Structure 1
Amino acid sequence: MVDLGECVNKRQPKKFTHVVNVAGIPVRRRKDMVSLYHSVPENVQGHILSPLSALKEKYPDIYEQQMRKYVGREQITQQRIPILDCLWNDVLHFVAVNPKAVKEALIEAGRNPEVAMSYYQVDPKLIEPKNAIVYLYPYADNKDPMNEENFVPYHPDEIAKFSGMPEATKEYYKGTIEKGERPLLYHRIPHILYRGTIDITDLPIISV
C-alpha cells in the first residue's frame, strides 16, 4: 500500500524566480509559469499601459518616441486587425517568449551582450479573451498578413504553445546583424494583441 503522507513529503519543492515590480518590491513567481511580456517603455508615465494611438494626445512626446520604431514602415500602424476591427496601433502587443530566450538568441547572432532589456511580466488571465487575438507569425497567408487565417482566438490557458523561440527568428537575427543592421526583436514571433489597457502598478519587471 502506498503511504500518501510519504508521497506528499517527497514532492519536489516549487521552483520560484525572483523579480521586482514597478515599486521595486520583490515578487516570487513559479519558474514554470508561462507569462506574457511587454517591453518597458522609456520615460514611462502614469500607471496604465495604453496602446500607441491612445498616447498621441495624452503623452505626445512618448508617442513620437514610440513611433520611431516604425520609421520607413509607418503603414503598418494603419493595418486593420480582423475580428477586433481596429488598427495595429490601437492594441497592446505581447509575446509569450521569455525575454531571456530572446536575448540569448540575439547574443548567439552576434549582438552585444551588454545591451539590457526590461519587460513587464503579465499574467495571461489579465487579458480579456473577447478583446484579444493571437497574430500568427509565420503567416498562414504571406501575401496578406491581415488575412483572418493568420489569426487564432486567444485562450489564456493555451498560451504555452506560443512560448517557444522560433528558429526563423534566430535565423533572421543572424542575417540582420551580419549585415550591420538592427533586427526587429519580435519578427516571426506570435503576437498577442489586446484591445485594452493594463494597470502596471503591481506588475513584476524582469531585466535581462
Structure 2
Amino acid sequence: MLASALPSAALAHPHGWIDLSVEVVTDADGNATALHQTWRMDPFYSLVVLEELSRGEEANLDEELDQLGHEIRDNVAAQHYFTEVRLNGERQALGEVTNYTALARNGRLHFMFRLPLAEPQPLEENELTYQVFDPTYYLEVVHEAEDNIIRDDALTLHGERECSLSVEPADPDPELIMRATMLDKDESGEPGLGRHFAETGVVACR
C-alpha cells in the first residue's frame, strides 16, 4: 500500500485521495509503449508528509523527496503500480518503473513516473483501456477534474494519431459502497475492493 511508504502520522487520515493525470506514450510507429502518470496527493495527506520530511535542522527536502519517491516506487511495484492496462479487453503485462520523481508543488505532493508496457502495443483499430486504483481502497484515485468535470489534460495521447479519449466513471454495486463506508478509520478494504471504484481511461483508435 502506498501509505506504507509514508510517515506514520499520515496513517491518521484513512480516506485520502490521489488526483491522476495520464499521458499514453507512443513510439514512431504509433504503438503504445508506456503510461506517464502524475499522482497529486490530497492537501491533508501532502501537508502531513511534507511537514514530516522537513523536520530537523539538517533536513534537505529535495533529498528527502528523492528517498520518498524511491520508497513509493518500491511499495507500489508489488501492487503492479496500482495500474491495470488492457488492449481490446486483454490484460497487458507491465515493465519496471525506472523513471520517477517525487516533488512538492503548490503545497501538494506529486509522484510522477513512466510505467512501460512489457511490449509495445498497436493502437490502430484497437482500444486501449486502463484503471489506476489502490487495491485495498485505502486511497481513492480519480482523474483530475474541475467542478466534477474531467479535465481535458487528465488523459492525453502522445503523438498525432487520431483517437478518441475518454474517462468512464466507476459504477460500483451499492453493497460495495456500503461495505466501503463501514470501514473503520484504521481499516482498509479487502484486496481488490478498489477496482470496483476505479475510473477507466479509454483510448479508442478504431
Normalising by structure 2, what TM-score? 0.28
Q: Which has the higher strand share?
A: 2
Structure of greater Rg: 1
Normalising by structure 1, what TM-score? 0.28
Q: Which has the higher helix share?
A: 1
Q: Higher RCO, 1 or 2 (CA under 8 Å, sep at least 6)?
A: 1
